[in-house]
Amino acid sequence: MLKRRLLGAASLFLATAASAAGPIVIHRDPGCGCCEQWAAQVRAQFGRRISMVDDQSRATFQRARGVPTSLSSCHTAVIDGMVFEGHVPIADMKRVLAQRPKGIAGLAVAGMPVGSPGMEVPGRRGDAYVVIAFGPSGTRIFARHQV
């Protein structure tokens, strides 16, 4: 009985914490359609409001957030203080947010690989791609994906 009460209280706390979290802010190249598709997947998985900003000077925003130029894509999201550049898979985002590894400011998927979240093409096999962690300690491979 006590175990059930504790689990119930923990579930209530986690649900309250998730709903109390702020909006997810995404800066994108103005009018980019794939960003909308990626944002819809993020909204569905995180259950939070999305604020989409058409940003003519996104490169300045990227530099201010520490995104390496070589990892640039079409949108930059900020979630709970971490930065996500490009079509990063939601599972990787959730993992880094839960772990908060030291020296990592965010994750990036450079370019716009076919098959990555928001870049799905029906009937076409996706490209292999890597998710790169970046931050004060440099860059490293965080995950590899073959779709």
Structure tokens at 12: 């209530």
Contact 58, 85 (CB under 8 A): no
pLDDT tens digit sequence for 86-112: 999 999 999 999 999 999 999 999 999
Q: Domains of the chain (ranges plus CATH)?
A: 22-146 (3.40.30)
pTM of the model: 0.82
Half-sphere exposure of 120 (CA within 13 A, CB side): 10
What is the distance between the alpha carbons of residues 144 and 113, in angstroms, rounded to a whole number? 12
pLDDT tens digit sequence for 43-78: 999 999 999 999 999 999 999 999 999 999 999 999
Residue 2 or 27, more confident: 27
What is the distance between the alpha carbons of residues 30 and 57, in angstroms, rounded to a whole number? 10
What is the distance between the alpha carbons of residues 136 and 36, in angstroms, rounded to a whole number? 30
What is the distance between the alpha carbons of residues 93 and 80, in angstroms, rounded to a whole number? 11
